[in-house]
Amino acid sequence: MNSSLPIRVGIIGLGAIGEGMTQVFTEHQSTEVVAVCDVVEERARQRATDLGNIFWTTNYQELVNHPELDLVYVAVPPVLHYPIVMDLLKTKKHILCEKPLANSLSEAKEMLEKAEEAGIVHAIHFPLSYINNMKELTARMESGYLGKLRRIELEMRFPEWPRKWQKNDWIASREQGGFVFEVAGHFVQIIQQLFGKITPIETELEYPEDPTSCEIGILAKLKLEDGTPILINGISQIPGLQEQSISLTMYGTKGTLSLVDLVKLYGGQLGQEFAEITIEKDMSFWEEFINQLVNAIEGKPSSMIDFHQGYEVQLILEALRTPRN
């Protein structure tokens, strides 16, 4: 496509994440939001007005069939990813899909296969690779900072789930919500990007009495192809805890690296104090994320994460949601 023209974007779903990404697309110099869709009429109408009286609808089919769109961002609950993406693929529009890719492994597999056949850019919203702290962690790891990797640990603590800024029924449901599906997938993607495929070994889930509610705890053991263990320890509904905490820690024979709450990186080597690593900020990670998406659409080299990686993550998420020992 003509790289001198902005990429015309349609947004399906204006919840917390969809609204945030609408702003990201609006502020980027290479993209322009020209259509929005949400089942809440007032929300869709108001956002369209705010963006200069652009096209809006409550029927996603109308946006799917909009003739003047290059890219559609699908920001709806996971159970709706499959039908919307499959309809979009018929129009050959490029797609950015929210994670997880689908609500089941079979859906994710078919979405990947059909997206490949369609020959379009099929991106998935895994932005952590573009965070400055993640770039620094990757660079140090590749330089041998860790030595031989011994263990990876992911710890997740949530005072309550759903979180205050994301209160809705679907994210609290066992069918398509929970912090394993919503949060752990980001880190599964990062681990597989850095170290290769993961194999689940044991999973123990804790559920509340309500059979429709999502997990409130997980203990899981997985491994890399070389046998390196991965431990996942997550819990929600924690009395007394005021703030969530999430950490991804890699232990090696020479050093330790830990990404804490995404915004802080800690590290230390033999004989050194384990301390926060100061990182020089460059561009916003959202800007870099959109840059890579734009590059993919324009046929330029891109590190955009696509449905292939989304499917690999889905394999692990589905295994984690199925208790095994």
pLDDT tens per residue across span 220-271: 999 999 999 999 999 999 999 999 999 999 999 999 999 999 889 999 999 9
> 11 vs 48, 59, 305, CA distance in Å?
11, 12, 19
Q: Are residues 32 and 139 in the same domain?
A: no
pLDDT at 178 over 60: yes
**Within 10 Å of residue 306's Cβ, how many Cβ atoms?**
21
Domain harbouring 33, CATH code: 3.40.50.720
Residue 118 within a domain: yes
Residue 188 within a domain: yes
> 269 vs 116, 273, 274, CA distance in Å?
44, 8, 8
Residue 1 within a domain: no
Q: Are residues 132 and 190 in the same domain?
A: yes
**pTM for this one?**
0.94
Nearest to residue 82, comparing CAs of 59, 62, 112, 58?
112
Q: Are residues 202 and 78 in the same domain?
A: no
Residue 133 within a domain: yes
Residue 53, judged by CB atoms within 10 A of its CB (0-12, 13-18, 19+), counts as exposed
Going by pLDDT thresholds of 50, 70 and 90, the confidence category of residue 284 is confident
Q: Are residues 70 and 180 in the same domain?
A: no
Nearest to residue 204, comparing CAs of 233, 161, 171, 245?
233
Residue 319 within a domain: no
Six-digit token string for 264 = 């802080």
Residue 82 within a domain: yes
More confident residue, 132 or 252: 252
Residue 323 within a domain: no
- Spatial separation of the C-alpha atoms in residues 229 and 107, rounded to whole Å: 29
Residue 231 within a domain: yes
Q: Are residues 133 and 117 in the same domain?
A: no
> 113 vs 118, 189, 197, CA distance in Å?
9, 20, 20
> 218 vs 64, 154, 232, 297, CA distance in Å?
38, 11, 7, 38
Q: Are residues 116 and 236 in the same domain?
A: no
Q: Are residues 277 and 289 in the same domain?
A: no
Averaged over 6-17, what is the pLDDT? 97
Q: Are residues 21 and 53 in the same domain?
A: yes
Rounded to 5°, angle at Cα 208 from 203 and 212: 95
Q: Which of 36-50, 176-190, 278-292 has the lowest mean pLDDT?
A: 278-292
Give the structural domain span for 196: 128-282
DSSP 8-state class, residue 30: T
Q: Are residues 20 and 147 in the same domain?
A: no
